[in-house]
Chain A
């Protein structure tokens, strides 16, 4: 049932011009930034060769492209996810899913999987660009896998956040702005709150608050370091937001 609902969400996404605009825009922007960086890399390459252990194309071109992709996802995911529940509420179509013999958990997971599958398509396209270099140069596949994993987990956390905000309102645009606000708040919090807690020598609250700073958790993965705690934090954030969404939809039956 989760996949039936995910398929429905994917179909709805592809039926809307928004998804195509976002997909095209992301692809153009990322291709441009990738080629631009590649160009820069080729210019400085003669000098790099003289270094003892020079950074490779993966470090200098691929990883930064993924960082750009992460930044774009910050804007794109709220837009792609805004309709998930808000529009169903506005059009009163939620009753179609709620009357079917599926649990609220299945509905929420189905919607999440649908959006995540779309984001994986974007990430797949981003990953395909550096893979195309694989024929001509030595790629650091470990780093590539790590950064792709990081971006996927980040996308999952973003998707869960925009799904949750979408469940709070009946206006898709409000959902998009709200989700963007939430992501931005988490970004800022991760930068400041975590650091200041650590500075005061409070490691436990600092570690807890790290759950809510997805971009900070993305950083080690983007450098090729599979930091288990960062991975867990990203998963935990997504799971928490999904649980909140389920709670919200369940509660709606009580409120009416």
Chain B
């Protein structure tokens, strides 16, 4: 109903969850707008699944508030859940059902009008590469196909919010590509939260990323900003007649120099101080035989490892 783009579909404030003495999620804030794909990252045990269980009403938060399209999930769970499609970490499949029976049940339970159920099932099967698997028993499907059915049941009622816990686990490379483009497509009209351990996946499909570590959000911004936030960048420098490493390191703005090969160097700059120009000028002036200077791409992986490096000794 709140169809305007940019409207918040999920708004969570101070979300907290304790398991006994252990606090799995520590007061995180989350906001998702229509048309956005949010990537949820974090090491094992960071609290991603716990957060998603709370957002889908499967787990009661110890503290905090959740709004789904303006409906309070804790006050009006049924109305709020009608807006959500959820793929849990472990696809909840009934082994004795066929794909068609199962998806039809999912459609009915999510209040798709009777007359449109068949059509909804066909559409979600087509989108998840299940068009020819309708009559197969869920218990006999391979892991990847079970995962596809799990995704299909999450989108069969075309919900406003799609929450996918590690959606591409167990899929083959073709299907991973298809599911990624499906997620992008869903991100057009709906909004999607997905958790994953595949970092390039986040870069490929997400608009925004939030990194969770020990139950707290340690980072939350757009993908582009995340790359910048790492602070300092680096270049790969190729010199035919290179001086000593110390000479290079003495150039203002350069933090560290590391020889990759006799003629190739990785040069790290100080944060927010791009010394590329100075480096090129020095190379020309001293006739070092500059033949290459190219930025080293900062991958999300670097950022992730940097932010969550301090491994827990729980």
The answer to whether A101 touches B59, judged by C-beta atoms less than 8 angstroms apart, is no
From A8, A11, A96, contact of B92 by CB (8 A): A96
CA distance A97 to B78 in the complex (A): 12
* Chain B residues whose CB sits within 8 angstroms of the CB of A96 once the complex forms: 92, 94, 106, 153
Q: Give residues of chain A (72-123) contacting chain B, Cβ–Cβ below 8 Å.
A: 91-103
Q: What band does the interface of chain A fall in when counting residues whose beta carbon is under 8 Å from B? A: 20 to 34
Task: For residue B12, give the distance in angstroms from its CB to the closest CB of chain A.
Answer: 16
Chain B positions 39-81 with a Cβ under 8 Å from a chain A Cβ: 50, 53, 56-60, 77-79, 81
- A93 B93 Cβ-Cβ under 8 A: yes
**B307 at the A/B interface (Cβ < 8 Å)?**
no
B89: nearest chain-A partner, CB-CB: A92
Contact indicator per residue, chain B 204-247, by CB within 8 Å of chain A (1) or not (0): 00000000000000000000000000000000000000000000
Contact of B94 among A12, A98, A99, A256 (CB under 8 A): A12
**B88 interface contact, C-beta 8 A:** yes
Query: Are A256 and B92 touching (Cβ within 8 A)?
Result: no
Please pick, from B79, B88, B110, the residue contacting A100 in the complex, using a CB distance under 8 A: B110
Closest Cβ neighbor of A4 among chain B residues: B108
Nearest CB in chain B: distance from A96 CB, A = 4
Set of chain A residues within 8 Å of B106, measured between Cβ atoms = 96, 100
A99 touches B60 (CB 8 A): no
Task: Write out, one digit per residue, whether chain B residues 81-103 have a CB within 8 A of any chain A CB (1) or not (0).
Answer: 11010101010111111000100
A residues less than 8 Å from B59 (CB atoms): 253, 256
A 206-250 to B, binary, CB cutoff 8 A, 1 in contact else 0 = 000000000000000000000000000000000000000000000
- Report yes or no: B78 in contact with A103, Cβ–Cβ below 8 A: yes
Q: Is the interface of A mostly helix, strand, loop or mixed?
A: helix
For residue A125, give the distance in angstroms from its CB to the closest CB of chain B.
24
Q: Are A97 and B96 in contact (CB under 8 A)?
A: no
Residue A101 contacts which of B60, B81, B95, B101 (CB distance < 8 angstroms)? B81
B8-48 vs A, CB cutoff 8 Å, 1 = contact: the mask equals: 00000000010100000000000000000000000000000
B56 touches A99 (CB 8 A): yes
CB of B109 within 8 Å of the partner chain: yes
Given the interface contacts A16-B96, A92-B88, does A99 sit within 8 Å of B57 by beta carbon? yes
Query: What's the nearest-Cβ distance from chain A to residue B99, in Å?
Result: 14
Contacts known (A95-B86, A96-B106, A101-B110); A12 close to B96, Cβ less than 8 A: yes
Complex contact B90–A92 (CB within 8 A): yes
Is B105 an interface position by the 8 A CB rule?
yes
> Is B111 close to A, CB under 8 A?
yes
State whether B78 touches A99 (Cβ < 8 A): no
Q: Are B109 and A98 in contact (CB under 8 A)?
A: no
Q: For B56, what are the chain A residues with a Cβ–Cβ distance below 8 Å?
A: 99
How many Cβ-Cβ contacts under 8 Å join chain A to chain B? 69
Residues of A within 8 Å of B77, CB to CB, are: 103
Complex Cα spacing A16 to B95, Å: 11
Q: How far does the Cβ of B42 sit from chain A's closest Cβ, in whole Å?
A: 18
Q: Which partner residue on chain A sits nearest B19 by CB separation?
A: A256
Q: Are the CB atoms of A95 and B92 closer together than 8 Å? A: yes
Q: For B19, what are the chain A residues with a Cβ–Cβ distance below 8 Å?
A: 256
- Residues of B within 8 Å of A93, CB to CB, are 92-94
B92 pairs with A102, CB closer than 8 A: no
For A98, list chain B residues within 8 Å (CB).
Answer: 57-58
B75 → A minimal CB distance (Å): 13
CA distance A53 to B95 in the complex (A): 58
Alpha-carbon distance A11/B96, docked complex (angstroms): 9
Note all chain A residues with C-beta closer than 8 A to B109. 1, 4-5, 97, 100-102
Q: Which residue of A lies closest to B81 (CB)?
A: A101
Residues of B within 8 A of A12 (CB): 94, 96-97
Q: Is A15 an interface residue, CB under 8 A from the partner?
A: yes
Shortest CB distance A19–B (Å): 11
Query: Whole-angstrom distance from the CB of A169 to the nearest CB of chain B?
Result: 19
Q: Bits for A13-54, please: 1 = Cβ < 8 Å to B, else 0.
A: 001100000000000000000000000000000000000000
Given that A15-B96, A96-B92, A254-B60 are known contacts, is A102 also in contact with B101, CB under 8 Å in the complex? no
In Å, the complex CA distance between A11 and B95 comes to: 12
Write 10 A-B pairs (CB below 8 A) sorted by A numbering: A5-B109, A8-B94, A12-B94, A93-B94, A95-B88, A96-B92, A99-B84, A101-B110, A101-B111, A102-B78
Q: A96-B92, A99-B58, A101-B109 are in contact. List 12 more A-B contacts (CB 8 A).
A: A4-B108, A11-B101, A15-B97, A93-B94, A97-B109, A100-B110, A101-B82, A101-B110, A103-B78, A253-B57, A256-B19, A256-B59
A residues within 8 Å of B by Cβ?
A: 1, 4-5, 8, 11-12, 15-16, 91-103, 253-254, 256
